[in-house]
Amino acid sequence: MARVQHLTSPEMPIIGGRGAGLPDAPHALEADAVAHAFAVDPNRGLLQSQVVERLRSFGLNILMRHAKVSALQILFNQFMNPVVALLATAATLSIVFGQYPEAAAVVIVLLINGAIGFFTEIRAVRSMEALRELSSFSVRVRRDGVPVVIPAEDIVPGDIVLLEGGDMVPADLRIIKTSNLAADESPLTGESLPVWKKEAPVEKDTPLADRTSMLFKGTSITRGTGEGLVTGTGMATELGRISRLVEQSEAERTPLERQLNRLSRDLIWLTLAIAVAIAAAGILSGRDLFLMVTAAIALAVAAIPEGLPIVATLALARGMLRMARKNALIEHLNAVETLGATTAIFTDKTGTLTENRMHVARILCASGEITVERETGTFRLGGRIVTAGEQPLLAETLQVLAFCNNATYSTDPNGSSGDPMEIALLEAVHFGGFEKAMLDNRFPRVREEAFDASTQMMATVHAGNGGFQVAVKGAPEAVFEHIGGVITQHGTEPFKQRVRARWFEKAEMLAGQGLRLLAIAGKEVERQDEPVYKGLTLLGLVGLHDPPRSDVASAIADTHAAGIKVIMVTGDHAVTASHISESIGLTPLSEQPMRGRNIPDPAETTPEERRRLLTTRIFSRVTPEQKLNLIALYQEAGDVVAMTGDGVNDAPALKKADIGIAMGLRGTQVARQAADMVLRDDAFSTIVAAVREGRVIYANIRRFTAYLLSCNLSEVLIVGLAVLAGLPLPLLPLQILFLNLVTDVFPAFALGAGEGEADVLKRPPRNPKEPILTRKNWLMIVGHGMLITAATLAALLIATRVMDLEGDEATTLSFLTLAFAQLFQVFNMRDPKASPFRNEITGNPYVWRALALCVFLLLAAAYIPQLAGPLAIVAPDAEGWAVVLLLSAAPLATVEFYRLAAGRMKS
């Protein structure tokens, strides 16, 4: 936890009467005074030696973390549930009736039951904690005069943080430089509207919400760019002070977990009622009082599916870890459930469908189309190599690309930082013999109009040559609206309708090659505060190539096979989007994209327009508001929508979607915070893998739930029907408890760890409103439970009336028949459409290990005297084993025969 201590650096001045310490009210001081107090030059940032010292003094930039749940607490929780109370009651009754061996056995069962629950829960808890450790974000700071990217937790007081739209504010900052900077401070102040920020100080007693010279940890930048000096980290921030007052929230529960908890709770009362009724019936019919009471308690313990919620949590947690290993980081548990029901994916183009390894491929200016050869770092015009020195228009274009840019470029692949597109532009600048740092020193930036999604442009103003130079880049159609002339080899030509049409044709031609386009323009002005977008002069077009990912075509095919619609929603040029779409198999080239300007107002759409919107697969030049409207339209039509996004303007759509998916590599921190899932590799194929995993997890939970309930139902029916029919008791209390430990636990865990069917992505999505157990599942549970009951009672009748067995010998046959029938029941959990021999159950190695362990334990119970004695089991002879194996396999054979007959009738 961060600590507020005095800085001990000897150069630290005295501020606010606190000695060599932090300023009392940095918002009320001039930025220079705050920088002086922290002994930092904003243009260079902290020295590495200062960083080391301040990390030692102030600690990491983190808030109080949720304390890890201790193993002791998890162990204690195992003995705080109804099952333990029932077992304790059984042990107490055994002692009261003088049955001390039974009492000892019940205590052993209680301890084993607690141990199994402990190891199950601790795996789930530790898995969730491991997932939380994967979630972090980085921030750009200036240190030793160089912008670097570091983990947010490594920030220290005095750091100079570089911010732009979409960034999360990592600490409390005193603003020292801004350009159209606005912040969303609603997490801290409740103010719903963005707050405009400025460098000027405010009064010392200004309320927190009005401190426009400050940025606060936990808030986010909604637009513009800026720089801030860190004045507080960790618990010394405003957010840290508030967090001290807030109690830890309860652990998140997903709808699925709530369903299973409710199901378990309802079944507890139903089971207890049945157990009491069975005990009463047995006692009234003259059965031994102690035997019937303990049998009823044991039956209740075995029949209550107390393990459902924790096994489900374990399945969710382990599945989420598998997703994380495949680069899909789940931020919210309920996303796992929703993923399996996804019917539509709204995806961006750049970096998701493409590799996000952009490079400048073409520069089109009045002198011609210049090809950029990345391998050699050269430019070609008409087949011959040219240089920026020979081509003034090329040189001027490259200089504007350097001016209107916030990235840093290095020939070291890991040394560059910033937006991938801007890094690609600086690479071309480098090929031309220019360096951004050199140009910035010669023509210092005095103003910036940060990129805005509504204008689709960015501008910077630079001093030099006795005036100011404006540099602009943006979407061609946006920039063309502000062009007054175009530079040619013979001077400036007016941008008349004919010239404008010709440049639009050039843009369409480049876009048809799958290139992402930028228009480059500029002008000279006398004052730095003049409107930047008025009367611009066009320099040319830049085309950036970003090839499709190698695996995206197969991923698109998988989504189509899975019944999932894929809709490309991009801010890029329509022709570029169409070219990429056709190359990856999303749509044929003949299918025309719908441009954002042609999307009708949702409040005024006709049925025909709605139909067209729901069948269009490419939307280009789309605004954030239009993304929201499209998501709402699909949701109203019954779709479960997943939406990818990376920018601050995508955050509302990410929240609106059923599954918000943020880009982990190029996504803004705001987008990642708003999302349910973060792609650590930004790849579309990762979304498809996550959808598959979501379907598998849900199917596994449904499968082991049905398995547990069918086994539990059979136990209740066997004892209940035997008592009502006046038959000998087919199961003894300790035998029921032994079954609860053997056949319930290990096969259920194995079913929850399955990898899923090979064709899981060739099925339609499930209905999100569908309960965990459908009517069909309940019918299967009842049917399978009755088959197991019939087989077990048949074994009891054969033992007593055909084989003339009595007492423990007869009970042994019914016990073993039930045990093996429940093991065979695992194979009934396969998909009815799958092969009986090659399916998701037989292909699951955990199933075979679980069955081998269970068979070993059952044989040990029959042949090891130390176990056989307390369980009252007598090892069967060959005839007895034949009855056990034949009858225990009968339910499986019956189900398989039924499925075969039903399949033939359908065909």
Q: Can you point out the beta strands (E) in 581-638?
A: 594-595, 618-620
* Helix 878-906 with 775-797: angle, nearest 10 deg: 150
DSSP string, 833-862: TS-SSSSTTTT-HHHHHHHHHHHHHHHHHH
Residue with tokens 């940060």: 450
Of 703, 691, 732, 702, residue with least CA distance to 715? 732
The residues assigned a catalytic role are 348
* Cα 200 from Cα 609, distance rounded (Å): 50
Beta-carbon contacts of 880 under 8 Å, excluding residues fewer than 6 positions away, are: 799, 803, 805, 809, 812, 813
- What's 558's DSSP letter? H
Beta-carbon contacts of 256 under 8 Å, excluding residues fewer than 6 positions away, are: 312, 316, 334, 337, 698, 701, 772
| Cβ neighbours of 882 (radius 10 Å) | 11
The answer to whether the beta carbons of residues 894 and 887 sit under 8 Å apart is no
| Cβ neighbours of 393 (radius 10 Å) | 19
Helix ranges (H only) for 432-496 are 436-442, 476-480
Beta-carbon contacts of 126 under 8 Å, excluding residues fewer than 6 positions away, are: none
* Cα 799 from Cα 803, distance rounded (Å): 5
Measured CA angle at 677 (ends 676, 679), to 5 deg: 155
* Cα 714 from Cα 818, distance rounded (Å): 8
SS3 for 676-732 is: CEEECCCCHHHHHHHHHHHHHHHHHHHHHHHHHHHHHHHHHHHHHHHHHHCCCCCCC
The answer to whether the beta carbons of residues 351 and 686 sit under 8 Å apart is no
Of 693, 579, 80, residue with least CA distance to 338? 693
How many whole angstroms from its chain centre is CA 445? 39
Half-sphere exposure of residue 565: CA atoms within 13 angstroms, side-chain side? 20
- What's 538's DSSP letter? E
* Cα 329 from Cα 673, distance rounded (Å): 12
* Cα 356 from Cα 532, distance rounded (Å): 30
Alpha-carbon distances of 821 from 677, 790, 876, 878, 892, rounded to whole Å: 42, 11, 17, 18, 8
* Cα 195 from Cα 182, distance rounded (Å): 5
Burial label, 786 (beta-carbon count in 10 A; 0-12, 13-18, 19+): middle
The answer to whether the beta carbons of residues 123 and 320 sit under 8 Å apart is no
* Cα 496 from Cα 479, distance rounded (Å): 14
Amino acid code (one letter) for 119: F
* Cα 475 from Cα 573, distance rounded (Å): 8
Measured CA angle at 431 (ends 426, 432), to 5 deg: 95
Helices (H) and strands (E) in the chain, counts: 30, 26
- Token representation of residue 59: 């600690």
